[in-house]
Amino acid sequence: MSTDLVIGMASEAVKLILLLSAPMLIVGLVVGLVISIFQAVTQIQEMTLTFVPKIIAVLLTLIIALPWMLNLMVTYTHNLFSSIPMHIR
């Protein structure tokens, strides 16, 4: 195995991780921003107010995006395992 091959495999794995985590992170960011604006406008400074909506929104996003995420992971794993014979040479 050459250095270029290992770096290519690692970069594909990092891309997949970023792609899989992006929906939950973006939804958490948007919900947190909306709640922060709401808190600033109403002057409610309750720290626990941000956690419950974020958790619910991220959980719903995970449930909605799970089939897509599983498809990406299965495809990546299949491609990785099917390319093993070419990398052993």
**Which pLDDT band holds residue 85 (cuts at 50, 70, 90)?**
confident
The structure's pTM equals 0.80
Which pLDDT score is estimated for 49? 81
**Which pLDDT band holds residue 15 (cuts at 50, 70, 90)?**
very high
**Which pLDDT band holds residue 84 (cuts at 50, 70, 90)?**
confident
Structure-token pair, residue 36:
């922060």
Contact 20, 73 (CB under 8 A): yes
Q: What are phi and psi of 8, to 5 degrees?
A: -65, -40
User: Which residue blocks in the chain are alpha helix, DSSP H?
Assistant: 3-42, 51-82, 84-88
- Write out pLDDT tens, residues 18-63: 999 999 999 999 999 999 899 889 888 887 888 899 999 999 999 9
